[in-house]
Amino acid sequence: MAADRDRDLTGRARNARPRDALGRPLPHGATGEERAPEGVVRPPAQALAEAQRLLDAGRPFHAHEVLEDAWKSAPPPERQLWRGLAQLAVGLTHAARGNARGAGTLLERGAGNIAGYAADPPHDVDVRGLVAWARGAAVAAEPGTPRLTAAPTGPE
């Protein structure tokens, strides 16, 4: 084990290197983007709102980190949903980095993981819309930004 490897208090590997807006590591000492804190347990509505805000801001890597935290803390019946949502954000990250093949793979995988929730979607997640978007985006050069939940219908 390298002595200079970043570790958390439990000994799990962490990478404290700065990262760009798309999550790519930058050299030590470079100025990077502020990162979403890892391991934050948010209520589902808050996780979805935060992830959507990050997606809308063109920060899919950071949205993936929020969704990954939700996946890891979700009750077992919802884990595939959150895993799939995180994979959709990773697919967008690959697309933004110019990796069309990786984007397509992750978008298809994410769509497959959330599709089973279409009949009774938890937390107002627009499963049908996301599956249709992901499967179309998997072959598109510019996937666009998905809406994780049904669009609000009234004043906020």
DSSP, res 34: P
Q: Quick: pLDDT tens for 107-153.
A: 999 999 999 999 999 999 999 999 999 988 776 656 667 878 775 54
Distance (Å) of CA 92 to CA 13, 46, 114: 25, 21, 16
Query: Using CA atoms, how far apart are residues 29 and 41, in angstroms rounded to an integer?
Result: 30
What is the pLDDT, as a whole number, of residue 113?
Answer: 97
Q: Quick: pLDDT tens for 43-73.
A: 999 999 999 999 999 999 999 999 999 999 9
Query: Using CA atoms, how far apart are residues 96 and 126, in angstroms rounded to an integer?
Result: 23
Residue 53 CB partners (closer than 8 Å, separation 6+): none
The domains of the chain, with CATH numbers, are 49-137 (1.10.3450.10)
pTM of the model as a whole? 0.79
Would you say residue 9 has pLDDT above 90? no
